[in-house]
Amino acid sequence: MADEGQGQARRSPRFHGRVGGGDRRCEWDACGEAGEFRAPPREGRRPGDGPGAWRWFCLDHVREFNGGYNFFEGMSMEEIEREQRPFAGWERETRAFAANAGATPRWADFVDPLDAIGAKFARERPAAANGHLFGEAERRALKVLGLAPDADRRALRQRYADLLRRYHPDRNGGDRAHEKALRDVIAAYTALKSSPAFA
C-alpha cells in the first residue's frame, strides 16, 4: 500500500503541457508546489497582442484555473462576434496560384477522384498501346530513338535498323564521328526490347 501511495505522489515527467526545468513556484495563493503549467496572463489575451507574460501553476491549480477560464471575458459584443465568425482569419489576402495550376485535369470531368489523379500522372508519364506506363529510363530511350509512346515492336525494330544504317561507320565511309550516337541507339534499343510495352 505504501508503494502504491508513493506511485501516485510521484508525477510523470512526460505529462502533456508540463514545462519543467525551471525554479518557478505555483502562483496560486498559499501553494508551494512547482509551477510547471502555464496559463494566460492576468489581464487576459487580446487578439493581436500576443500571449503576454504567462502565469505558472501546479497541475491541480492549472486544472482549477482552466475550469473557470473565460476567453471572452472583458470583450465587447463586437469583439466576441468577430472572434466567433466562421471565417475569422480568412480576410487576409492569399498568394496567387502558380502559372501552371491549370495543368491538373478538371475534377468535374471525372466521377471518381482517383481517375482524375490517374489522368494527371498518365499525362506526365506516357503509356504504351498496351497501357504500360513508361519509366524514366524507357522515356529517355524512346526519345533517343525518336519513337512515339504508342509505337509497337515492329516500329521499334524498324527504327533501330534505320538508325544503325545511319550511324554505323561501315555505312558512312568509316566516319567515326557518330560513334556516341550509335552507342546511345544500341543502349536504347536494348532497354526497350525487353520492356513490357513491346512484349
The answer to whether residues 57 and 26 touch, using CB atoms and an 8 Å cutoff, is: yes
pLDDT score, position 110: 62
Ordered domains of the chain (ranges, CATH): 15-84 (no CATH), 102-199 (1.10.287.110)
Burial profile 11-43: b = 16 or more Cβ within 10 angstroms, e = fewer: eeeeeeebeeeeebebbbeeeeebbbbbbeeee
For the stretch 49-99, pLDDT in tens is 555 678 888 888 888 888 888 878 888 998 888 878 777 666 666 666 655
pLDDT score, position 130: 64
pTM of the model: 0.38
C-alpha to C-alpha distance for 187 and 144, rounded to whole angstroms: 9
Q: Could you give the percent of the chain with pLDDT greater than 90?
A: 3
